[in-house]
Amino acid sequence: MDIVNRYRKISFTVLAVDSIPCSLVGNKMIFSASGEIETAPWKLPWAMPWIERELKKLAKEKTGISGVETMKVYNPDEPDQYLLVRIERYIDLKIGELIDRAAELYPDQEALIRYDGRIRYRYRELKKICDEFAKGLLRLGIKKDDKTAIWSVNSIEAVIAQFGISQVGSLVVPLSPYEKRLRMENFLKQSDTKTLRCCMRFALN
Per-residue confidence (pLDDT) for residue 201, from 0 to 100: 52
Contacts of the segment 175-179: beta carbons below 8 A, 24+ positions apart? 175/149, 175/150, 175/151, 177/151, 177/152, 177/153
Q: If pLDDT is split at 50, 70 and 90, which confidence band does 199 have?
A: low
Residue 15: what are its φ and ψ, rounded to 5°? Answer: -100, -30
Residue type, 38: E
pLDDT at 61 over 60: yes
125-153 confidence digits (pLDDT tens) = 999 999 999 999 999 999 899 999 898 88
Q: If pLDDT is split at 50, 70 and 90, which confidence band does 204 have?
A: very low
Q: What CATH number was assigned to the domain covering residues 95-198?
A: 3.40.50.980
Q: How many CB atoms lie within 10 A of CB 2?
A: 11
Per-residue confidence (pLDDT) for residue 131, from 0 to 100: 95
Q: Where in the chain is the domain with CATH 3.40.50.980?
A: 95-198
